[in-house]
Structure 1
């Protein structure tokens, strides 16, 4: 039985909290919506969950109600008293780490596998996401990512080749994980309401293609999409061996980056690895 908690608006008013534009904050107050987001990764009873930027603790409440063991990183000191009250209401279920998530390695604060569930601060969301997807070590320590982004960013993560949203983010997300658009969230659900719509993306890692360096794939996509309107023979000419790789693989150098399938990028990176 979950403890009775005061409405989030009351908590925000009592602690004098206002969303900080500098920290990319937008608070979600609809508890039913928050429960739906917390349900996306599946049953969380006893599961370790990492939350980034909990703010006043709206999503944190939903995760705790679902039985998760939550480790939350919050850099806004104003929010810490409200989170401390939540930790008291759910004894032994919530650990709050004050600090910047960009500078804290999850392995230093969580033992074993964990799910990431977060309404990411807009200004660092993409950087955190690409960090979780990067590196040569795979599979990762995280078992799934359930993340709120601006809808435009979410669409770039799940985009298919030959679409306007397809780019580096889609390749880096899809070559060794499976992302899906789990839920769209209207701007009116937030306080203050952002200018754009949002969406929740759910990502599950899959096996990593053999013989490919993650760093090399990053270099290939960086070069290819850095000048996305140019043909590959132009955009890839600065990457040693890339044009020869295209010839070996039978990929026409007149093509543009957005026409290449994920497997084709992986094949180029494999030859250059």
Structure 2
């Protein structure tokens, strides 16, 4: 495996006059051991396709390349492109950089083969990107795993269990057809500049989707319920056609609040509504 000697990331930053852009949600990681640990979370990446969003100066990118991955990276900050070009030269044939907005890029179309997604996500678009990768009616997805850095609050919401304050739409969306876990916490001091909040890396692996459940119905239900999470289900789900009938048929008490309803119960409710329509 090609592991060329690379200058420290701080030298790369200084050479190219880079600084983290608040507008782009950037926070750079310099600790190479930490970055190697993140790159190891999906398992062996030798000869595996990996999609990365917002590589910046290439901290996580070089860890992925050292692990033997073939990386397709999307970067909208043109200032970072020369540093990434140097990485591409150092790892011939392993790195392809797309200049553009990740919100407008379809990784499956760009890569073609099954791939992992690994990224220190820009804070301002991280949740929206993750929801896009988890959503849609087609399942299983083209990606084999998600290894994503989020603000700790968002990470907690992804893995939250019923009955907790963090449990809501994001937990249900992530867990109904993925195994989700927090792989490692990351202290704010690991970043430059340090963000105001702690972070964590979340790892998600697709599992078989429950039969007879549409993503659109699950989204409709959870949007209605958690949009008024302090209200009982009989009130918050009233606008959803057949929802109250379905509650009774599947045995979910209408005086419960949405954060007490398990993912399995949400799935059964969504399935039942579709049979009544």
Alignment of 1:203-242 (within 5 A): 203-242=204-243
Aligned residue in 2 for 1:250: 251
Aligned residue in 2 for 1:137: 138
- The alignment's TM-score, normalised by the length of structure 1, stands at 0.99
Q: Secondary structure at the match of 1:85?
A: helix
Cα distance per residue 1:16-53 (max 9 Å; x no partner) = 10000000000000000000000000000000000000
The alpha carbon displacement at 1:245 in A equals 0.5
Query: How far apart are the structure 1 equivalents of 2:209 and 2:108?
Result: 21
Structural RMSD (CA): 0.5
Query: How far apart are the structure 2 equivalents of 1:186 and 1:143?
Result: 27
Aligned residue in 2 for 1:162: 163
Alignment of 1:1-273 (within 5 A): 1-273=2-274
In the TM superposition, structure 1's runs of 4+ consecutive aligned residues that sit over 2 Å from their partners are none
Count matched residues.
273
Q: Mind listing any 5+ residue stretches in structure 2 that lack a counterpart?
A: none
Query: How far apart are the structure 1 equivalents of 2:153 and 2:12?
Result: 31
Is 2:250–2:272's contact at 8 Å kept on the other side of the alignment? no
Q: Secondary structure at the match of 2:140?
A: coil
- The alignment's TM-score, normalised by the length of structure 2, stands at 0.98
Query: How far apart are the structure 2 equivalents of 1:214 and 1:207?
Result: 14
Query: How far apart are the structure 1 equivalents of 2:174 and 2:35?
Result: 25
The alpha carbon displacement at 1:108 in A equals 2.0
The alpha carbon displacement at 1:125 in A equals 0.4
Query: How far apart are the structure 2 equivalents of 1:25 and 1:67?
Result: 25
Q: Mind listing any 5+ residue stretches in structure 1 that lack a counterpart?
A: none
